[in-house]
Structure 1
């Protein structure tokens, strides 16, 4: 519990952000967030807010107790004071407080934070300072480095709305009209006289109804090259959340329900047609499925869950920018993007554009997570009901792709031969009578005598008889490999000119040389 003092049980009707020295004649009955007030300034703001009729004041604290001057000012002004710990962001405090105002409930760990989470994701992807505004130009969420925020941004956050001179400029430039009428990303040039750096803005619209805007201000470095695409995806995701903002819906409940329905669609737990109606997707539409594994090292489960949640937010913005009605689902420790195919898209192989999209996504996730993220284009489901089968292909392909961590993206089509071999080995393992006894005896001979004939023979077969290539993988002289192959043939009676002998030997060797994780060990690498 944060440190607090003053009268308890006093409700507040609004949340006001104020800085030291600002007038407080509009804070009656409100919770005042004293942003930037430390030491004597904090005590002065508590006294002034109490005199102005504020219900409570939140100030930053560095220890376990409120400073004595702040407590003394609170007792004189008879105002409640809440201490905000150093690790808690002001935007989070504001989100929790506004959730209490809107819903009359105790704040939970995620209440009111969905738009803020989206803003933080956009800030990370664009390298900018982000604000999300409603249709009345009121700031409802923001994110990004406060040190990089310009004067216009600071005034917008503290005043909860964009200053009128800048709004007048936007009207003259036709910016509002352009963002209301399309999904165009509109650039707004730097305005030094207004303390405004370069910006990008996109409208958040529900059909022809404008709901708000997302702004990205250029900070200490140029905006990311793909910032416009990321803004388009974010605008699609923000639309439903702003509907909740206007009508005081429970965004957490709606998003949780959508995630549950999306998970059911991915795993086939419920009827696809009924789920599609709830999700706003044509049940007969085709959909591409992309599977992603963060490749996080084993460890703290809570940390892994937090990492997946952050990655899912990033992936959702990317997916929404690429396809309308895209869904991102967490299942089996992996993330899956369900990308409904546009009705006008031809039935041609969609691998090329999807490969580019998946490559951009993996590069972004690798940069932000620091792990060797990998993705697989699992394939296209001709109908939504076929998605679970495609998902299973993606899951299996990701397991196989783990043997080549340097490969960021692959397609199921490319991995299909290796998956076929793996499935064949699984069938052979379950049928002990289907064996090549001579090759099994060769493996036993190696174990007994400490030789390496079986593995040498397998790599020779894998290299299609190329002695030089197989010898390099074994790091032996080619003559050594030739001797080993001749010795293996003599012990087993193999006829290397017979294709069935070669195929049977390769399968048996993979089966007998495999480690417990056959998906990786059945495909030896140098």
Structure 2
């Protein structure tokens, strides 16, 4: 944020009311009112809708995830009917969860019956909505309780409650509202009865992102020109109802935009004036939301950075991050494969995406960007198979690559126990990234176990760069002789060692007759004094040849992250 914007925001928000810590908890009814019927439909509600709801969490059926009281249990990967669904419902009911969320594609009769018997509320969401988007939506749809209302209408919206703000604007202007960030991602939307919406708005809510089309991009370009209200009756390539839109700005910084779908009655000058006023109020709310998020992220990021770098009390840092020090931990490192300019532009979005995925996967996960790498620390209970972490990393890489339009690679270190071992796990993840960068055609995601041998060779190669005397010896003499005389004794030596001394296999590998190969071996012994009968000599020769070949691969001199 620019200095002018920050000064204006502080001046306009310094007289905020004292937070009301004794406010009643959010109820399921309030949550559903914010989400709206297009996002979720109640399948069973044996305890009614006025029950308290807490934070969403991903339920892992393989490890029987711990379920908190009043939590919203997302049954990811669990069919809505059958034994697995009944087990999720039973576990949630036993833990006192508020509700279970399934993706239901057909009639929910069996699920409703199971839920009623267990006394558990069940919510159905559309199959096309991703679980990650739903997790984000549920988090944002929770009405804020720390800022009490200060009046009626738009002035009475609790500070930072963007869903309540969207409803207030919709009531004031007279049309369905979406509030978006500068990248056209939907932050919140209204849900007032009787206000019509069109298919593009519905799709943007379910998919979180406004459709990326030439006609849509043209709308946003025209909106960026000034602070006035714009009217759009048509969009190239889309069938829409007419819309009003206004940018949300503070000083010279764009915070986002507000869009209003016109109902059956045309929105006139009064609606435009109301929307301009709403944009000024929305700026304060969006600054509040972003500042709260930035402060929390910065604090957790600084703590994680200290832990990864081995600074401070590791146990104390884990406690402040809210992570049980007894649980195993995994470090996953993500890296953009792009130039420095694009890297700066995309890194913040990558941190957002990694944080969203990892926090949905493990609520107490933490993320931070260090230099060109984004690190995620994941609590990993013993019951959590390592391939689940690898699957998560693969999903993040695929989603981030398609969203940011740049290739991304991910590396996973060993799962460790104890906070003091986290720097070691980070070092392993860094090593995996360097291996992936060094080898053309490498996979986009790998664990330290996947690249174990190459990781060891990489470390040895870096040691020999610092201590070049370790590379001296018979291999160096062979390479120099080849360069001077145009021979290829190095290939002969490599083939012999790779074939474990099998002349027939080695000669076939380089395409010469076995007798010719034997002659070349005798010459190697005569010229360089190589002792093939000595196992130590064979080991050193093999290592030096491998390191020589490794040093020639692209990216082998890439600096540490």
2:493 equivalent in structure 1: 457
Of 356, 362, 366, the match for 1:323: 362
Deviation at 1:330, TM superposition (A): 1.2
CA distance in 2, matches of 1:380, 1:361: 19
CA distance in 2, matches of 1:357, 1:178: 32
Deviation at 1:247, TM superposition (A): 5.9
1:444 equivalent in structure 2: 480
2:343 equivalent in structure 1: 304
1:418 equivalent in structure 2: 454
**Cα deviation code 1:1-41 (max 9, x no counterpart):** xxxxxxxxxxxxxxxxxxxxxxxxxxxxxxxxxxxxxxxxx
1:492 equivalent in structure 2: 528
1:508 equivalent in structure 2: 544
Relative to structure 1, is the Cα distance of residues 137 and 413 closer, same or farther in structure 2, using a 3 angstrom cutoff?
closer
1:363 equivalent in structure 2: 398
**Cα deviation code 1:257-306 (max 9, x no counterpart):** 23222222222233223333432223443311112222x23242xx2122
TM-score (normalizing by structure 2): 0.49
Contact 1:422 / 1:519 at 8 angstroms: preserved in 2?
Answer: no
Contact 1:440 / 1:512 at 8 angstroms: preserved in 2?
Answer: no
CA distance in 2, matches of 1:486, 1:521: 35
CA distance in 2, matches of 1:268, 1:425: 25
Contact 1:261 / 1:275 at 8 angstroms: preserved in 2?
Answer: yes
1:57 equivalent in structure 2: none
1:54-453 to 2 correspondences below 5 Å: 104=12, 135=30, 174=45, 180=53, 181-185=70-74, 227-228=130-131, 230-231=132-133, 233-234=135-136, 238=140, 246=158, 250-251=291-292, 252-294=294-336, 296-300=337-341, 303-342=342-381, 345-346=382-383, 350-404=385-439, 405-431=441-467, 433-434=469-470, 437-453=473-489
Relative to structure 1, is the Cα distance of residues 322 and 467 closer, same or farther in structure 2, using a 3 angstrom cutoff?
farther
Deviation at 1:425, TM superposition (A): 3.9
Contact 2:412 / 2:428 at 8 angstroms: preserved in 1?
Answer: no
Deviation at 1:389, TM superposition (A): 2.0
Relative to structure 1, is the Cα distance of residues 360 and 470 closer, same or farther in structure 2, using a 3 angstrom cutoff?
farther
Contact 2:343 / 2:372 at 8 angstroms: preserved in 1?
Answer: no
**Cα deviation code 1:389-410 (max 9, x no counterpart):** 2111211221012234431222
2:235 equivalent in structure 1: none
Give structure 1 stretches of 5+ with no counterpart.
1-95, 107-132, 140-160, 188-206
TM-score (normalizing by structure 1): 0.52
CA distance in 2, matches of 1:171, 1:384: 42
